Amino acid sequence: MKRIVTLGILFVLCVILVGAYVVINKSNENTTEPETTSDETEYVNIDTNDSSKITSFSYSINDESFQFINNNNVWQIVGQEKYPIDQTFPKAMLNSIEEILGYRVIAQENTDITEFGFDKPTCKISVTYEDSTVKTYLIGDYNSFASAYYFLIDGTKTVYTLVDKITSFFSHKLSDMIDRDDSPELPEAENIVSVDVNGNDGFSKSIIFSDSDTTLADAVSSLELGDVTGAGATDLSTFGFDSPRKVTVNYKATITSGDSGSTTVTVDKSASFLFAYADGKFYITLEGSNLCYTVKSNDADIVTSFVFPEYSK
């Protein structure tokens, strides 16, 4: 009898446990995960541009204006077509305005342009399309509280705070955008064998370096093209290059060969520069270049004195 009672109690407990499991499992099925919120900012679409159809553009910043025109897929400065522009700059500028976004609309009617700085804009950008359509954008004052510039499409009344990826691209001066020549790479002084100087005025001079004579070799090893001067000049004779002196640096270089790079060979190499003198200043360039540079070296005076001893201090 006791055994029957015990089995009955166990059966009841089993029923209770199974019921509890079913209730809990059903409860879990009906429980939904909490909704996750996105922290992505919803921007305002201000305007778009197709840079492939823009034929010219201009921008003004800090009282300076720059105008570009597309000539056979090469961007040039209007009036300074010989100015060698690094094409990555104008392309990046136009890419930055292909999609113009704002944080929010600030004003839409009765806009007082002076209130937002559009009477004296931080930057003014105009683009001209193949069909002669012109768009002009004004970037006004900077709102430090919103950490954004005010933005206005010229001819409209809607003012936005700008999601700014524009001003940094349209802040370059011409000197920033110049397509410079690459300076020839020169070795350490101990690998320079000799330097030859030849001018079309009949001047000729050479020096072969010894282990004890390193002053000139040290200066030559650090020789490179300095700052650009007279960019876009149509005639480099202004800087004395109608009578230049060619400087050839002869040196030893070690190259590796073989699949593993285990074989080394010493070869003779050379690098050349053109030097000129005009109006008390020395200039340097490369053959075939239309750019003129200042002379840069850890001791430029030693180099220029060797090339132009008649003008040495």
> Phi/psi at 158 (nearest 5 deg)?
-90, 125
Dump pLDDT digits (tens) for 217-251.
Answer: 999 999 999 999 877 666 899 999 999 999 999 99
In our burial notation (b when 16+ CB lie closer than 10 A, e otherwise), range 275-301 reads: bbbbeeebbbbbeebbbbbebebeebe
pTM to 2 decimals?
0.70
Burial of 265 (0-12, 13-18, 19+ CB in 10 A): exposed
SS3 content of the chain, % helix, strand, coil (to 5): 25, 40, 35
DSSP-derived secondary structure for 76-112: EETTBTTS-B-THHHHHHHHHTSEEEEEEEEE-SS--
| Beta carbons of 241 and 281 less than 8 angstroms apart | no
The domains located in the chain, with CATH, are: 44-176 (no CATH), 189-311 (2.60.40)
Dump pLDDT digits (tens) for 21-79.
Answer: 544 444 444 433 334 334 467 899 999 999 999 999 999 988 889 999 999 999 999 98
| Beta carbons of 43 and 163 less than 8 angstroms apart | yes
Q: Using CA atoms, how far apart are residues 23 and 244, in angstroms rounded to an integer?
A: 97
Dump pLDDT digits (tens) for 98-113.
Answer: 999 999 999 888 778 8
Dump pLDDT digits (tens) for 113-124.
Answer: 889 999 999 999
Residue 263's pLDDT band, with cuts at 50, 70 and 90, is confident
pLDDT of residue 110: 74
pLDDT reading at 149 higher than 70: yes
pLDDT of residue 14: 45
| Beta carbons of 241 and 275 less than 8 angstroms apart | no
Residue 34 neighbours by CB distance under 10 Å: 6
What would the two tokens of residue 157 be?
Answer: 């009344």
pLDDT of residue 18: 44
In percent, the amount of the chain with pLDDT more than 70 equals 83
- Three-state DSSP at 117 gives coil
Beta-strand runs (E) in the chain: 44-48, 54-61, 64-71, 74-77, 99-107, 123-129, 134-143, 148-153, 159-162, 192-199, 204-208, 224-229, 245-257, 263-278, 281-285, 292-296
Q: Using CA atoms, how far apart are residues 265 and 242, in angstroms rounded to an integer?
A: 40
What would the two tokens of residue 252 be?
Answer: 């030893």
Least reliable range by pLDDT among 35-49, 147-161, 177-191, 218-232: 35-49
In percent, the amount of the chain with pLDDT more than 90 equals 66
- Average pLDDT along the chain: 86
CA angle 147, 49, 91 (to 5 degrees): 85
pLDDT of residue 290: 85
Dump pLDDT digits (tens) for 274-290.
Answer: 999 999 999 999 999 98
> Phi/psi at 227 (nearest 5 deg)?
-75, 145
pLDDT of residue 212: 61
